[in-house]
Structure formats: C-alpha cells, structure tokens
Chain A
C-alpha cells in the first residue's frame, strides 16, 4: 500500500496519513471497543459491519487455518447473542433472527453454520413457560401474514408479465430504457385492472339489460374511429347507460348507483395508489439522497463524482456493445465533470448571469404564450360552425398532431435556454404536460358550456377519437422512423444510430393515460381501448428498441426521472378529478345517461344512497358541514397545521445541521485522541515529544500548551478534590505558578507518604514542564 501511496502526489497531511494507514487495523480494533459501537442495535439490527470488521481482524491474524470459518461463526454468534430481542424463544424473535441472518454479509455455508449455533444457544437459554393466549394469537397472525406474503410474492413472480423481455431489453439498452418499459407494464396492469372493474360492474349489467342484439352491423370505418353513428348508442358512451333498475325478480341492480360508485371507487382508488407510489418514490429518490437537513445541499456533503464512480456502472447490462457504449459514456462524463470543475474557478460575472436569467424568463413567457395561443385557437376552431362532414375528426387530428409535434419543438426550444441538462429535461416535461392537460381541460370546458343535448357523449367520443388517432402515430409512424434510421445506420448512410428517446416515449404514455383519465367517466370502454393499445405498444416498442435503437450517449439518471414521470401521471389524475368535480358533478345533462333522474350527479349519493330528503337530521348536519363558514374553518385549520409541520421540519433541519457539525467535530476529536493514545503507547509521548514537529496550529501543540498548562484554573480546581496520589501530578506545575497550593499539597502528601503510584506521572509532567521552560 505504501508503494502505491508514494506513486502519486500527496496532500500536505500525507505523512500523517501513511502513518495512520499503517496502524489502521489496530485503530479499527480500538474504535470497535468504543461505547458507541457496543450499544445494542435496536430495531434495524445492523450488526453486520461490526462483524465483518472483526472478521477482517480475524483473517489478518489467522489466514487459512482449517477452523477459521468455525471461529468466525463463533464470533458472529457471540455478537448476535448480545441482542436480547434476537435470542428469545418465540416466533417474533425467530423472525428477527431470520432477517438478521439473511442480512449477514456472509456466504450461505457460514449463515447455516451460524444458524445452527444460534438455535442451539437459544434452546439452551430458553425457559419453557407457557405463553398467553393473546400472545399465541398474535404470533399466529403475524406468522400467517408472513406466510401469505411469501406465497403472494411467489405467485407474483410466476405471473410476472414480460419478465424475460424486459430483462432482455435491460441487458441490451441499460436499465434506463428498462424503466420506460416498467412504466408501460405498470400502466398496462393498472388499466387491465380498471377494465375488469368497469366491465364487470358497469358494462355487463347494461349489456344484459339491453339484451344483446344491438345493430352493430353497419359501422363504417370512420364511425369506428370517431365513435359516431352506430357506435353512438352502445356501451361505449355515457349516454347509452340506463338510469333505473335492471335485473329480474327480487334482485335489483340500480345502474345509476353502479355507475356512480364504480367510477368513484376507480378514480379514488387509483388516485390513492398513484399518490402512495409517487410519494414513496419521491421519498426514496429525492428526500433521502438530499440527507436529513440538507435543505438544498447546504449542510450535507454532496459527493457527485464519488457517486458516479460507485453507482455509475449499470450491472444489468449484458450485451458487449451496450457495455462498450456505457464505458464510453462514463469516460465522457468523467471528463466533462473534470472540465466543469476546472472551469468553475472563473465564476460567471453578474451581467452574464443576469443575461441568462432574463433569456430563460423571456423564452418561458413566450412558450407559455404559445401554449395558450394554441389553446385559444383550438377554442375558436371548436366554436366555428362549419358544415363539413366529420368536422370533429379534423379537430381531433389537429390535437393529435399538436400533441405529437410539440414535445419535439419544446425540446428544441429548451436548448436555446441556459439550463442544466437535468433541469432542461424537467422543464420540457412540465411544458409538454401543461399543453396536454390544458387541451383536455379545454375540451371538457367547451363541451360543458355547449348546449348539446348530451354533451357527455361528445367528451367521451373526443377521448375515444384521441386514443384511436394516436394509434397510427405511436404504433406505426414513430417505430417506422426508428426502423428507417436504424437501417440507414446499418448501411452507413448516417453516422449515429437512433437513440431510444425515453423522455418522448414516456410522454406519449402519459398523454394516453391523461386522455384515459378524462374520458373514462364518459366512455367506460375507453379503458379497454387504451389497455389493448398499451399491449400492442409494448410489443412494437420492444421490437424497435431491440432491433433499431442504441443506448443514449449520455448517462441517464433513471431513478429521479422515473419519479417525475409518475408524478405527472398523478398530477393529471388530480387535474381530472378537479375538473370533473367542478364541472360534471353539478350539471349532468338532463336527458341522457345514468344520472338523468337526479338533478346533479351528487344526487345519486344524496338522494339515492343516503336518502337525505327523508332524513332531516342528517341533511341538516351535512348542510352545516358544507356551509362556507365550516369549509373556511377547515381550510384555516389545515393551513395552520401545515404551518406547524413546516416550522417543525425547519427546526429539525437546523437541528440536524447542528448535529452533523457536532458529528464531524467528534470524529476529529476521536481521531486526535486515537493518535494521542497511539503516541502514548508507542512511548513517544514520554521520551521523545518532538515539539518542533508540530506547527503552532496543530492540535497536539495546543493540547500541550493550553489544556495541560498549569494556569488552567478548572483543571486545578478539579484536581484539588482528587485523591492524594493524583495530587502529585499538578505539583510540578504548581512549582512555578502557585506556590501556595504547592505548599499545602506537599504537606499533605508528606503526611500520607504514599506516592508510589504517581511517579510516572510526575516524571512525564515534569519533563513537559522542562520543555515548556526551554521554550520560554
């Protein structure tokens, strides 16, 4: 190791480093005996590192002895036996033991060995006593829960869809592209579940009620695409649904109830799932890496380069070509980081920064203006009354074209601005999303405002058309372009192979999903269409990714981008819920759909399910709760609680910063003390304190000259209360500075006469005093 160390340029503290490195094993041993390392690990049971440190020591001492493994196991067992939670003889601690074993960084053989020893030790310790019924119940429940969870995982593994395909893609294109396919698969699963839910509770009862034979013969291609004509009166659209009871005899099935509650459950359930997932992902990928009190990277230590070094390689890559590309991308990125660091010395001047900022602001304003301009144009287009046939189809075509082209345009525009690569990506995503969601909300608003007899059908048709018209774009056009570019690359017409554009493709997914959220309420079968589309999309994308595309030249940070995409899906669902809540729930059209009996869709809940008109008390209570005053109060209370939580988190952040600072200081203290101990044990302290070696600012020098200085009053005060043998120590100091106390001390010690134990102290301190005197 020292040879390697000499090979490079070292920092000023190099000498100390080589020295400390040499003593590392011994130091580590000393550190392991510190109280903080001996504290029982509660909860997380993270004893493994301590073990492996012991093992490192052990391996150093007896390398390949035959019983080394056995002894190692003994050490681990001893370590684990100190945790009482682990060693009890009940199912709970058995489970804990199992987990602790699993988390051991050892091979299977070792784990087995340890387990055998542990169980012997447990049965030795256990006192057989009957456990209470309640406890037995608890254990049984937790056991069953665990069992069922395991078998559920087993089941999931055996039905996991497209497992090999995604693995293959990850092998060829890296896990970033894989993350797109994971998103696709997840959305597909979600929509599949949704379709099952809607079909079984809404579509099938309605079909049974209508009685099957529905003239589905005369559907033209245009009708099929736009959902008009003969499709108008099918379960595809809201208006078709019956508003009363269906079913025969005593079994009644209220369609209005079914429609309302199924949709409500579907929306709220998936909103909950999405929120949970997004929050979880956000916590894992944004909050935790930022560190407890980081607060914008101020307090925490950011180790970008080191993180790139250790997390840079994607271990899932399996094809040599992808590996070579990944290596090149990494090397490129390292170089870029170095350049950036070298450039950083010349900080941008104020005016340059101002110029950049203002460019960003101006372009953002222009882009926002464009987005609203496009939407205003759309509004005008919608309200123009022309008498061409299939006017709606043209409008939908325009929307689809805008949705397909705009991301590319926005991606180009963002290059004119001064953002970091990652921020630029997020900015583009946000703008595209804004455009998409704005368009959808606009459509909804337009149709609610229109005086069409059954405007819900129009919205449903619009959603259906958008989904259908997007099919040729995302299923045919884009893959075709990718294939052609791939072919051109293969025949050396162009130099670069097409990259798999994760951002654009994910945006397409989000767009489709947003259309689905908006259209689902007015067109229950839209879910089925989107599900089938995603299914096809997976196969098409898989082929085009594997055959035509290559990994990107830049390293794509999958985890955070994934979170942002999820967030967008959740946000569009939120926007949908908001829009539907404010527009639809109050005023469904009076002559069609399942809610035509009620004044508003909420009436299903109020009049149908709760029967409010008959229950005056409940109605009064609800009226009271929904009064503006009550709502305002609730809002105010929410605001206050948010404020309190915020204040608390702020306080905790500053506390964390403080603690982190303390931790750093403590680490330094520890380091200092350890080297001091080392010196003492090497004898350097006593016999050869080369004081000229320490600069005036070294800790040791300060220690020698300030802390141990005789004029240190606190020190002296303490000492005067100690037993006589220690009193010898300050005596030599006292010679110079405190003659009085010296007198009394000397008298005392003479009376006692027992000073043997203080000789060494006396020697060392008087020696130090001499050097002090010499210095002066």
Chain B
C-alpha cells in the first residue's frame, strides 16, 4: 500500500481501459479522486463500497440537483451506494469521450424518477422543481404550463409521456447537451 505505487495491476487497468472511456492514467486519477472521498476505507480495499452520503461529497455531485438519482442510476446495488467501479462508470459516462447516445441513455434514466421507462408528467414536474432550486419556487400553474408545453413540443406520439426515442430526439436537436452533461475528473 505504498503511497506512490498503484493499487492496481496492469491487467486490471487494461480491463478498465477496455470497458470505460478512460485511459489508464485517467483511471488512476479517478481512483485518486475516489480515494479522497474516504481515504482509509479505500486505502484498505481499493474497490470499497462507499455509502451515498460519501459519494455526494464529490464537489460536482454535492450541488447537483439530481445527485441522488445519479448515484442510484450508477450504483450496482441500486441503492445509491457506489463501489469504485460504479464511480468509474459514472465518471466515464460523464467524460468528454463518451458518445452522445450513451450519455443520453443515462440522462434518460436519471430523469426517469419513477423508473417506468418513460418520462411522464410527474417526472417532468420533478425535474423542473429540482432545476429551479428550493428557494425560488415557480407557482403550480406555471409548472403545469411548462409541463404541458414540453409535452406539446416533444411528445410526438401523444401518449402523455416521453419515451426514450422522443427524449433522444430532443437531445439530438440540442447543441448544448454534450457541453452540459459532463463532469470533468
């Protein structure tokens, strides 16, 4: 457990490089970041499982309105607790090198709060409320109007919810998605 030495073998790194959008150096860098969240625990076991509260100390996640959803989507145990591999997965999807389609896929899951594989009215309300923050409340009728407008714009098959295809369509039309859906290591 030398400080300067890597906790990973060459094969493990190669493995990570194959399965994520990172290079070996970036994987190691990601591990440093992960270790900084809980130095002792990760020092003992490089793939330790950290509770969601610990993961949320990561600066970008701490202030993110969808933080709990992000953790849940990437957690392999589906409860928000993340191992290093889950963390690596998360960072890999949020990295610059991940293609738009992969990002869109995960964004869809993050916004799909009730997990029914559709972004329905309740999901949209939730997204708006979280985006606008706790202090500045939009009124109920405003939110309702927003939801209505979004559905009118984007719900192409008129079923009252956005399916993945419709969601991807929105993403494709927006030039800013790749810029905004990104967390640097």
Contact = CB atoms under 8 A, between A and B. Distances in A.
Interface of A: 1, 4-5, 8-11, 13-14, 17-18, 20-21, 24, 28, 46, 48-49, 52-53, 56, 98, 101-103, 105, 107-109, 111-112, 115, 150, 153-154, 157-158, 167, 170-171, 175, 179, 284-286, 288-291, 300-307, 309-320, 322-324, 327-328, 330-331, 334-335, 338, 341, 557-560, 664, 667-668, 671
B85 A5 contact: no
Contacts of B107: 310
A167 B162 CA distance: 33
A377 B129 CA distance: 57
Nearest to A663: B156
20 contacts: A1-B120, A5-B120, A9-B148, A21-B159, A24-B116, A28-B117, A48-B105, A105-B106, A105-B109, A108-B89, A286-B175, A290-B173, A300-B173, A306-B150, A306-B153, A306-B154, A316-B60, A327-B65, A328-B136, A331-B138
Contact of A107 (B60, B89, B120, B157): B89
Interface string B123-139: 01001100111011010
A1 B119 CA distance: 11
B5 interface: no
Given A311-B180, A331-B132, A13 B158 contact: yes
A305 B124 CA distance: 12
B181 A315 contact: yes
Contact of A105 (B102, B156, B158): B102
A315 B20 contact: no
Nearest to A294: B173
B179 A558 contact: yes
Contact of B133 (A8, A170, A331): A331
B86 interface: yes
Contacts of B62: 318, 320
Chain A to chain B: the 9 pairs with minimum beta-carbon distance, closest first: A327-B133, A323-B63, A318-B59, A331-B132, A307-B174, A4-B122, A285-B175, A17-B160, A306-B154
Interface stretch (B35-43, B48-56, B163-171): B163-171
A101 B17 contact: no
Given A13-B158, A303-B154, A316-B60, A112 B102 contact: no
Contact of A315 (B114, B118, B170, B180): B180
B161 to A, nearest CB: 7
A667 B159 CA distance: 12
A317 B131 contact: no
B59 A313 contact: no
A297 to B, nearest CB: 10
Given A101-B18, A316-B184, A558-B179, A309 B63 contact: no
B23 interface: yes
Nearest to B147: A8
Contacts of A17: 158-160
Contacts of A328: 133, 136
Nearest to B66: A313
B100 to A, nearest CB: 10
B23 A154 contact: yes
A206 B159 CA distance: 74
Interface residues of B, number: 86
Contact of B76 (A46, A107, A291, A301): A107
A320 B63 CA distance: 6
B63 A318 contact: yes
B144 interface: yes
A310 B171 contact: yes
A49 B102 CA distance: 10
A546 to B, nearest CB: 14
Given A20-B159, A154-B23, A671-B157, A4 B94 contact: no
Nearest to A110: B76
Contacts of B175: 284-286, 288-289, 557, 559-560
A319 B59 contact: yes
A112 B99 contact: no
Interface of B: 15-21, 23-26, 29, 59-60, 62-66, 74, 76, 85-86, 88-89, 94, 99, 101-102, 105-107, 109, 111, 114, 116-118, 120-122, 124, 127-128, 131-133, 135-136, 138, 142, 144-150, 153-154, 156-162, 164, 167, 169-185
A338 B142 contact: yes
A291 B175 CA distance: 11
Contacts of A318: 59-60, 62-63
A306 B183 contact: no
A102 B18 contact: yes
B23 A157 contact: yes
A361 to B, nearest CB: 30
A310 B60 contact: no
B64 A313 contact: yes
A304 B150 CA distance: 9
A303 B63 contact: no
B85 A108 contact: yes
A558 B176 contact: yes
B52 to A, nearest CB: 16
Contacts of B181: 311, 315
B23 A150 contact: yes
B149 A557 contact: no
Contacts of B101: 46, 48, 103
A20 B29 CA distance: 48
Contacts of B85: 107-109
A17 B120 CA distance: 11
B59 A315 contact: no
Contacts of B149: 305, 338, 341
Contacts of A286: 175
A327 B143 CA distance: 15
B21 A102 contact: yes
Nearest to B143: A334
Given A310-B127, A330-B131, 13 more contacts: A20-B159, A102-B20, A170-B184, A288-B172, A302-B153, A307-B171, A311-B181, A316-B180, A317-B64, A327-B65, A327-B136, A558-B176, A559-B179
Contact of B63 (A14, A103, A319, A338): A319
Contacts of A341: 149
Contacts of A284: 175
Nearest to A28: B117
Contacts of A317: 60, 63-64
Contacts of B176: 307, 311, 557-559
A102 to B, nearest CB: 6
Contacts of A179: 179
Nearest to A174: B180
A426 B59 CA distance: 34
A109 B128 contact: no
Contacts of B21: 102
A314 B147 CA distance: 21
A458 to B, nearest CB: 44
A111 B177 contact: no
A327 to B, nearest CB: 3
A316 B114 contact: no
A315 B106 CA distance: 13
Given A307-B174, A309-B131, A338-B145, A314 B63 contact: no
A314 B180 contact: yes
Contacts of A320: 62-63
Contact of A667 (B26, B89, B156, B178): B156
A314 B64 CA distance: 9
A319 B182 CA distance: 15
Contact of B160 (A21, A316, A331): A21
A282 B173 CA distance: 14
A385 B96 CA distance: 57
A57 B119 CA distance: 17
Nearest to B122: A4
Nearest to A55: B117
Given A311-B176, A313-B180, A327 B105 contact: no
A334 B138 contact: yes
B29 to A, nearest CB: 8
Contact of B116 (A1, A13, A109, A291): A1
A302 B182 contact: no
